[in-house]
Structure 1
């Protein structure tokens, strides 16, 4: 009788029978034992009931009508015909699935499309952050250059008059070279500044000694002694260093922002493969197909699935983060010692200071040149004495204009361009902040995607969520996904990021490294070796972006903007109204191939001391001649 309650269910009958046997064996007729037997009998009935209920639930799950799954997928917009009425074996969800092969195929394509759309949205948003800042920075720079050119022209025209207008093209060419470097990069700024001061040196020498006639060979000889005589003092060296490092940093920031945005967009060409789509279906929908979805996919399961799908995007994450850090560093330099506005805005004052230095030492310099190169013949055409006054007035203005120095730079900035400085600082700080926010962007993509639309269970439900096979904790063993091999696009963008980062690090110290003839690997090696040494780096413009990305070709050609002819629409510079009788001189000869043998330059100690009268004659006579020429030009 004690075992009677155990008969209905075979799987626990043995347990009941064994228990009854044990109780009978130790039964001694006591009431307590009899009560224990009754309690065990009741427990046996409960086990029988629970087992039967569980068996009925399993039968409903695996042999039911899939009504719950059908209702869920229809709510998502899928046709009822795609959902099976009875559980069956699917190609993705495998055994006991309510999802037909047709539904699984549709879920796969839709899951891949959803992920592609998500990537397109967030990547283009990030690229837009960089591109927008690049355009704003470019607009500010061009407006600043336009203003600087106008200020330069107005000041020099007012101060030096026709003397400046006759040689305005020398300064116009300088601004054109600076703008060309910013737009195209194929200009060595140090050579540009050397050329400018060489031409200015020759022009100043001929103006101070206007009574002579000069042949090209003689000007070559004059040119040879420029670096020894230092007619402009230390202005050329200081200005060249300041312009070089500021323009390098400015151009590098603009170009790397633009190219970083283009590189991010290029990553969108990497498409998800079908294996990724199947894993997304298994993670998101197979729990529902099996009627065991629970609260949703485990968070760690979703994250790991997306990391496998986006493995190529994660690969570029470290390179991107280094690039972001380098952007931040170069932007910080532009707020400090590489401030482009602090160099470009007062360039008129700095060049005027150089002219004043030459004017103060003009007689001494001329005498040394005459000793080394000989005296040229006097100009044959003679003019009457009276018309010399206007030219002398222009020379007097040159002589009386106050000598300026670099210590006045800060005062000049504060009094004339406080608003612009605030605009530049605000612009750069915005660049720093927004670009820094993109750090870890690629690495966070899987987490951000899994957090979309409550896709997964909450972290507190990690042990009771869908893990890919059943309800429980997620294990990596549940994943069968093998990431595909790296596509060519990924390799290309890794190269681009590396070159951009090295370029930024090089510009961080103002390096000047021309790389037109180097291939990508040589560029990387060169910039690594010369990083943080204060030289210039070049980013030439071309359309052959694939060359640098693949490591072939020359120079940094793959980093080129698609901006052919992207130059200032204003042109090279102002075109002052030159007098009709003024013609542009033949380009200054800078070659030394036909120069006469170089003679020793006499120093102040070896030179014969000048008498007072001789000094007056050698210094005043050129002024009178300049005055005469200016008067004649004004009359014309």
Structure 2
């Protein structure tokens, strides 16, 4: 009797298993989700041989599972690539917009200071800011950017020195209070030739040039490196999509054959990991170390030094003008030694106007530094340091490709336990121990090229990172009063929107007044003692009175709109 009961239980169990195996209904949902519709069971498939899949369905399933694996890889790689490109565009657009705003602000300062003669500063001012924008644009659009580490199209130390040389005759005319007159062309040419010997603005031009050059060259390197990283990710994604014939078959056996046999059970996790590490991870795992180094290099340079350097430019120009005013006695003596007494001619008193076509004044002229965005970007990128080492394992997070454990799952042959050894990594050297891969893995020369690109990018980024020490140029930017917008440190952008508007916006009572007043607040710039004579004090006092008048006018101007300087002067 006991034997009969056991026999009946065994028979019932066998019948249930047989019924489950002969039914394809549990697999139909899987086929539907992968858009596999062919039903030619009379022609068995060559790989799975299951009664639920004919040759046509097996072929469709093979292609569908390969696409799914590619999409899973792309979902890990593509967002990082898009993040790199988006950050590049955002930073480049921010710095370019900021350059126009500060060009505007500096031009307003010259208008207040030099009145009708300010028009003569238009060309040198535009040339300086154009060189800044050329340098930023040289990292330019995707596919057309300059090669990483290539020589800069503009040396901003030279550009800055040229700007101050061209402005010197106008500044010197202002020192001598020759408002209705202008220097003869020959005398003006002599002033420019004597600029190096006279040094009318002290060491401000040199320090400013170094500051701009270091900060904007670093920004240019970062912009180019972001583009390189995105290109490497796009190329690697293409390499992953080009899997070999064996791996296409292995993916079918992994994710499809159990369904072709009528089982609705996912593959064992270690089985999935072995296939994924051999077929996907081994293709790109050698990029793991170069990518981690690249991310580290980007992290070191993902900061707003270029923003700070640009914001400090107009205040340094006013400091340079102040230096010439404070030391006008020595300056006049040096100029007379080089060029003799001034020769002038009368000029008509023409008004200077500014106009900026385009967007809304308030919205277009607000450019707070992208500190928060860069911090978020760096944090997200940092989390991807092990991208290529863990890329293949992401496939096994898909329920269709892996169970949570290694028991009562699809082991490649039946439903049961997966007992084969788990290969320790996706490295090529480890694949000879992979029980699921028979083909010998070979290094792809394209992979070596991508690795070299990432290593080169890291070297360029580190060369611009200043290694954590504060250079002389950065110290120079930090020498402003802590509360002044535009200084290299101590920036405060919490004082409502007016702070942003003051950054070169040309809005009423903000950019114009600050540009004019700042030059006369920094009265301790020069180490050369001022003369106490009335003759020495008179030009400075005249300028102070002039600016007090302008500041009062600016207060009145708060009640009417003001046009702003166009980006193209």
TM-score of Structure 1 vs Structure 2, range by shorter chain? 0.5 to 0.7
Aligned residues of 1:84 and 1:98 also touching (Cα < 8 A)? no
Match of 1:253 in 2: 222
- Distance in 2, matches of 1:451 and 1:81, equals 29
Match of 1:327 in 2: 298
Larger Rg: 1
Q: What is the CA distance between 1:434 and its match in structure 2?
A: 3.2
Match of 1:305 in 2: 275
Of residues 323, 333, 357 in structure 1, which corresponds to 2:323? 357
Match of 2:209 in 1: 240
Match of 2:386 in 1: 440
- Distance in 1, matches of 2:323 and 2:333, equals 16
- Distance in 1, matches of 2:296 and 2:457, equals 11
Equivalence map 1:572-587=2 (5 Å): none
Please list the CA deviations of residues 94-140 of structure 1 after superposition, one character each: whole Å capped at 9, or x if unmatched.
8x887555544333222212222333444333322232333333333
- Distance in 2, matches of 1:453 and 1:464, equals 15
Root mean square deviation of aligned Cα: 4.7
Aligned residues of 1:190 and 1:240 also touching (Cα < 8 A)? yes
Change (3 A) 1:79 1:258: closer
Q: Secondary structure at the match of 1:231?
A: coil
User: Is residue 283 of structure 1 aligned with residue 254 of structure 2?
Assistant: yes
User: Is residue 466 of structure 1 aligned with residue 410 of structure 2?
Assistant: yes
Aligned residues of 2:168 and 2:192 also touching (Cα < 8 A)? no
Q: What TM-score, normalized by structure 2, do the two folds share?
A: 0.63
Q: Secondary structure at the match of 1:225?
A: helix
- Distance in 2, matches of 1:269 and 1:532, equals 41
Aligned residues of 1:201 and 1:231 also touching (Cα < 8 A)? yes
Match of 2:166 in 1: 199
Match of 1:500 in 2: 457
Q: What is the CA distance between 1:477 and its match in structure 2?
A: 5.4
Aligned residues of 2:307 and 2:369 also touching (Cα < 8 A)? no
Aligned residues of 1:323 and 1:501 also touching (Cα < 8 A)? yes
Match of 2:372 in 1: 426
Of residues 40, 60, 72 in structure 1, which corresponds to 2:27? 72
Equivalence map 1:20-31=2 (5 Å): none
Of residues 135, 139, 142 in structure 1, which corresponds to 2:96? 142
Aligned residues of 2:26 and 2:264 also touching (Cα < 8 A)? no
Q: Secondary structure at the match of 1:76?
A: helix
User: Is residue 344 of structure 1 aligned with residue 313 of structure 2?
Assistant: no
Equivalence map 1:125-140=2 (5 Å): 125-140=79-94
The total of aligned residue pairs comes to 435
Q: What TM-score, normalized by structure 1, do the two folds share?
A: 0.57
- Distance in 2, matches of 1:426 and 1:320, equals 24
Change (3 A) 1:79 1:197: closer
- Distance in 1, matches of 2:238 and 2:333, equals 69
Change (3 A) 1:463 1:175: same
Equivalence map 1:37-52=2 (5 Å): none
Aligned residues of 2:208 and 2:316 also touching (Cα < 8 A)? yes
Change (3 A) 1:50 1:284: farther
> Can you give the 5+ residue segments of structure 1 that lack an aligned partner in the other structure?
1-41, 392-418, 511-530, 537-572, 575-610, 628-636
Match of 2:333 in 1: 367
Change (3 A) 1:158 1:203: closer
Between stretches 433-442 and 108-117, larger displacement belongs to 433-442
User: Is residue 110 of structure 1 aligned with residue 64 of structure 2?
Assistant: yes
Please list the CA deviations of residues 126-168 of structure 1 after superposition, one character each: whole Å capped at 9, or x if unmatched.
3222323333333332332222122212222012212322232
